[in-house]
Amino acid sequence: MQHFALTIIGRDRTGIVSQVTEILYELGCNIADSSCSILGGQFAMILILDHPEYVDRDSFGDAFLPLEESGLSVFLRVLKPGGEIRPEIEGEICMISVYGSDKPGIVYRVAQVLGENQVNITDLNTKLVGSADNPVYVLMLEAVLPENMTEQDIDTWVAPLRDELQVDITVRTIHTAEL
């Protein structure tokens, strides 16, 4: 079965998720994985989907035309085999939160330290919160620690960034519960 990556971007408004998923439902697509968020005033969504008969972008015809006519940008990409499979990432999950004044380099410097130490970032979100007079930049990272690495190791590596960037950085391990 062929898998596709569908990306939708445009000015946020109510009903986008409903409109997109209605089209996919009517086409007979299966949504294997998805993520959506509002970035600034822009809606951004990416979905991994499949269809039992579709083999390329042309198979979808003009199905996404209503989205484009409503001001959204639509991108559809055919995935190479295996591109739909979520990798099994071994290791302990941790959350890293960063709070401070908004300035260039926060995401880069934190990601740089993690990458240099082989920490896999699996999710990343940023937001500007607070008031116009007192904005606060928030960075939330989910990461998988390699074997024999602890949250204390991460905390030690990011400690110099606290002073350099003048931010608060917290690292905590997430323990999964078995149901």
Q: How far apart are CA 62 and CA 31, in angstroms?
A: 19
What pLDDT is attached to residue 179? 53
For residues 133-150, one letter each, b for 16 or more C-beta atoms within 10 angstroms of the residue's C-beta and e for the rest, the string is eeeebbbebebebeeebe
What pLDDT is attached to residue 53? 94
Kindly list the structural domains of the chain, giving each domain's residue range(s) and its CATH number in brackets, ordered by start. Answer: 2-78 (3.30.70.260), 92-174 (3.30.70.260)
Question: What 3-state DSSP class applies to 63?
Answer: coil
Q: Is the pLDDT of residue 87 over 80?
A: no
Question: What 3-state DSSP class applies to 103?
Answer: coil
Span 131-153, pLDDT tens digits: 888 889 999 999 999 889 998 99
Q: How far apart are CA 129 and CA 7, in angstroms?
A: 26
